[in-house]
Structure 1
Amino acid sequence: MSFSWTPHRFSGSALALDVANSVVLRHDETRRIDRFEAPAQLETFPQAAAEFCAERAIFGDMVAPAPDNKGNFLELREATDRYFRARVSGDNDDQLLADLLGALARTLHGANGANGLDVATAHSVLRLIAMPDPERMKVCRNCGWLFIDRSKNRSRAWCDMAVCGNRAKANRHYRRRKEEEAP
């Protein structure tokens, strides 16, 4: 399958969320796509993140995790998703936080350099844990990705208005037209 990293893929507003969102349709086992399963995807992600990620000024150029730390990095990605998804739903599970902190420790311990994607992701996770407005983190109503709502009135419902927002609005329009046409 042909794939390229685009600005939409970095709509989480934090590197850690963009990494967590690298699993598409996470909760649909039949259609789930892990973008990091292909080694080339993981190799090109840091360069794309340096171009498109909201935190690019903080982390700058990054390299892919060392092969011997890839397992820890993927474990960090999954723990990040579980913890922040639960936090958005109001479930402040101490065990999920402990799992996340353990994954952070293993990832940082196995890191091969300060400019690795694994190190930058770990730092981004720590920044999110300490986020002053945790209620700004949301789950996209369309695709289920995690994102930070940076809108003034905190009313953002989609990770990316140009993609998910338009899809939701088009779907609503389609349903409304079908209802009007029904006898």
Structure 2
Amino acid sequence: MSFSWTPHRFAGGALALDVANSVVLRHDAARRIDRFAVSNQMRDFPHAAAEFCAERALFGNIAPVAKENEADFIALREAIDLYFRERILTGGDDQSLAALLEAVAKVLREANPGSVAAATAHSVLRLIAMPDSERMKICGNCGWLFVDRSKNRSRAWCDMAVCGNRAKANRHYLRKKEEIPCGNI
């Protein structure tokens, strides 16, 4: 499967969330896609992040994850998703926070300081310390994590141009479907 890193793929509002969102349809085993499992996509990700990520000004150009650190980077990604998803849904717990901090510490100890793994670890720490954590949300369409930076905190989708349009089109379809009388098909 071939795809490109587009601005939509960086709709999380923070590098750590964009990394977690590299798994599409995470909770649908039949349709789940791990973008980092696709050949060369993990290598291409830092270049795209430097162009599209909301935090790009904080880290500038970043290097890809070294081959020997890929497993730690994937473990960090999974810990990010688990902790922040739990934090949004239930307020989080100490176990998932501890696992996330352990993954962050391992990456910071072992990864190249200029790598996407190190930049992601720093992004995690900024998100944990974020004073208005209620701005962190889960997209109502695709399930991606994102930071709602809208003035009135009413954003419901990771990206209005993609998920927002899909959700609105689906609601329109269902309304029209209900309007058709059963005997006129």
Q: Same fold (TM over 0.5)?
A: yes
Within the alignment, does 1:161 sit opposite 2:157 as a pair?
A: no
Provide the residue aligned with 2:177 in structure 1: 178
| Matches of 2:115 and 2:51, distance apart in 1 | 15
Offset, 1:173: 0.2
Residues 62-121 of structure 1: CA deviation (Å, up to 9, x unaligned): 111111111111000000000000000123210000000010111111112x21000000
| Matches of 1:60 and 1:182, distance apart in 2 | 57
Provide the residue aligned with 1:18 in structure 2: 18
Structure 1 runs of 4+ aligned residues shifted over 3 Å read none
Question: TM-score when scaled to structure 2?
Answer: 0.97
| Matches of 1:165 and 1:41, distance apart in 2 | 26
Offset, 1:40: 0.5
One-letter amino acid of the counterpart of residue 27, structure 1: H
Provide the residue aligned with 1:37 in structure 2: 37
| Matches of 1:44 and 1:60, distance apart in 2 | 15
Provide the residue aligned with 1:90 in structure 2: 90
Within the alignment, does 1:101 sit opposite 2:101 as a pair?
A: yes
| Matches of 2:146 and 2:38, distance apart in 1 | 24
Where do 1:30-179 residues align within 5 Å?
30-112=30-112, 114-179=113-178
One-letter amino acid of the counterpart of residue 169, structure 2: A
Inter-CA distance 155–138: structure 2 relative to 1 (3 Å threshold)? same
Report the more deviating stretch, 8-17 or 83-92: 83-92
One-letter amino acid of the counterpart of residue 140, structure 1: C
Point out where structure 2 has 5 or more consecutive residues left out of the alignment.
none
Offset, 1:37: 0.7
One-letter amino acid of the counterpart of residue 96, structure 1: S
Contact conserved, 2:84 with 2:92, CA < 8 A, in 1?
no
Total equivalences in the alignment: 182
Query: Per the alignment, in what secondary structure is the counterpart of residue 85 of structure 1?
Result: helix
| Matches of 2:39 and 2:97, distance apart in 1 | 29
One-letter amino acid of the counterpart of residue 45, structure 2: F
| Matches of 2:78 and 2:87, distance apart in 1 | 14
Query: Per the alignment, in what secondary structure is the counterpart of residue 2 of structure 1?
Result: coil
| Matches of 2:143 and 2:33, distance apart in 1 | 13
